[in-house]
Structure 1
Amino acid sequence: MSHQDELQKKALELDKKDKLAHFREQFEIGEEIYLDGNSLGRLPKKTVGLISEITQIQWGKRLIRSWNEHWMELPSKVAAKIAQVVGAQADEIFVGDSTSINFYKLAFAALKFQETKTRIITDSLNFPTDIYVLQGLIEQQFKNHSLTIIQSADEQRISDEAISNALDNETALLTLSHVVFKSAYMYDMHKINHLAHQNGALVLWDLSHSAGAVEVNLNESGADLAVGCTYKYLNGGPGAPAFLYVRKDLQEKLHNPIWGWFSHQKPFDFTLNYEAKADIQRFSAGTPSVLSLAAIASGIDISLEAGMKNLREKSVSQTNYLIELIENLLTPIGFTIASPTNSNERGSHISIQHPEGYRINRAMIEPTNDSPVIIPDFRPPNNIRLGIAPLYNTFEEIFRTIIRIKTIVETREFERFGGERLEVV
């Protein structure tokens, strides 16, 4: 038996032993191999019926009466589910608006609260929109502040020492992605919170590549603030509302810069003077997006049923297996691994690099023969991201993916694509 055959046999054996395998049946699964759940999760089957019920009955027949019957309580119900995923209390989570808007709210609130301090720290691996928001805050509201972007030496990680060296008593806010979007490097949240608090700084975490993928314990780690999206590993649907977290004792101290009627103490009194709510709902703004908000629940329910500890164990097993395949089959033909090989330091996706990364990515998505359609994603300059969603990805899919990539390179199938880029990759 060849080494490749042994690797395939291993995949089949691991799938047979997989205690979470049955959760795959709860999703709409096509013929393609889908390894982009770290950008948009699959559709839960229950979501289809749920949205149908909301549109046809709650909206179609009950009309505005559904606000009192169902919709006013919907944000808090979904928030309570998210809280279980990220290790927070139900009254510390607000769900609504986009990740960028929620990031703006919390960054503004933190800087206003820490107004005697003028330094903001982030890293070069952070998701660009977070950095854009910080730049906009400095340009528009906090003109005396400065932004320090800690540079990564290897484009994979930032050391705890580098974070510690950057912090000082003038630091108002440290903000990082818990799991880095390109390399999947994962910070030690507890350690970073401690370092920041020693210097009197607040920490704002972006959990977009963490929630539903790794075990997050905001309360236990002493986290101050966090934001995250629900359409990746939580399978909430395209553009699903995001969430934010504010530690309970900070809620009355921090002020939402967007004063909207749903954050008013008595929104339906329609008074002309604003009075903010005292709880987490002070970080809301306008009317909840009922259809997209409701769609989040089904995906989170599946994650909670599976259990985050179990999901993390399977994710580690699958990403370890993926790395084994890459080292044996792809490294010899010019690929490098651009993610930590230590599972304690990474999330649930693996980035690989090749000079022809973009065209290889295109060939995976658009095969010309009977090869399977495989959907990863691409991040410049040459990263192919392979996202593992333990709820529905199998070990055999991972094996078939690496064999397909090997074939694309060895046959130079990628050469049929030019250098033009699609808008979404």
Structure 2
Amino acid sequence: MTTRRWLAGALIAGLLAMPSMVQLSLVPSARAQQPLVGITDTEIKIGQNAPFSGPASVYGQISTAESHYFQMVNDQGGVNGRKIRLIALDDGYSPPKAVEVIRKLIEEEQVAFLFQTIGTASNAAIRKYVNAKKVPDIWLGSGASMFVAPKEYPWSIPFQPSYRLEGEMYGKYILQKYPNAKIGIIYQNDDLGKDYVAGLKDALGDKYDKMVVKTLSYELTDATVDSQIVELQSAGVDVVYDASTPKFSAMTIRKIADLGWHPVHIIDSNGALVRPALSSAGFDKSVGVITGQYLKDPTDPAWANDPGMKEFMAWKAKYAPEADIANPVWAYGYNMAQALVLVLQRAGNDLTRQGILKAATSLPPTTKLSMVLPGIEISTGPDDYRPMKGLRLVQFDGTMYRLLPE
């Protein structure tokens, strides 16, 4: 009897324990099978803020170009069988609105990651939140040096050359070509403008205070910069260093021409877009403008037989017929989308957020993108968060930008 009772008790105890044991054995498997955020067997959902309205609405076309590129990729079967779905929400180039938009994308839309979040001020406003959430922000749309911070903000990865590096390039050019220049600076009073000024200081070194005779700023809310240009002329400036965005660089070009003034005019790559900046100011008034580029110019016949340009023009004809190829934002958006597809291809089936981050921060120096100018290296590493390593100087001839001799 004792033995039977013991066996019965053991059997009952074993039966009672079975559900718990089964449950414990299933937990790891169930977790492993949980879907990744924003990823299904057929789709990769990504998010973006974009200025479809506001003072920098021209940059909204970047997002449109990227959407068109992803449509081409999707028509070709997607990336490893998954189609890319870009959700782009308008933030009006407003930092508070950008925060609202990004929260919606991450918390409500449940995107896998962010892509090409546009604007220096907007990116500054969102990066603490994005990094706290550990959501990759791949190829954020700003060249401000503040965003190269892999230790503090490991989930935010910029792409284009830093504004500071670009400013340093202009400074070296001035030293080489105009060593006795009287430089007048007009800059946008934000991180973008300040970065370009810092780069100029880096290049000029102890000559900065002697060569720079006047420094003036403007606010994004200003209606005009006419008074600043008049003040620069009055100071005897012969090189205008213009760190701005298209709306204001167009004003600067027009006012300089209206004054009958002919200084050397250097404009940062953001503000020197053929369209809308130069076209708005007038191509005749824009002759001689110097800037930096890292992408091939679709309007330059020198690239007509280039394989990468042929691919771009074929994409434009089929997927972006509305694209104005004289406006560099279309080639830029195309390039950024192509760079993201490269990251997804490198990530393969590891589409965890950590896997995507790793793929974006391990691009080898052999990386090529079809619209990037020859001689410019693209690479990343765990401590090297700036893929584009340089630019080329170009000058506007009244029709297009021409490469200056290296």
Q: TM-score range by the shorter chain?
A: 0.3 to 0.5
Instruction: Return the TM-score normalized by structure 1.
Output: 0.31
Structure number with greater Rg is: 2
Q: When the two structures are superposed, what TM-score results if normalisation uses the length of structure 2? A: 0.33
Higher relative contact order (CA 8 A, sep 6+): 1
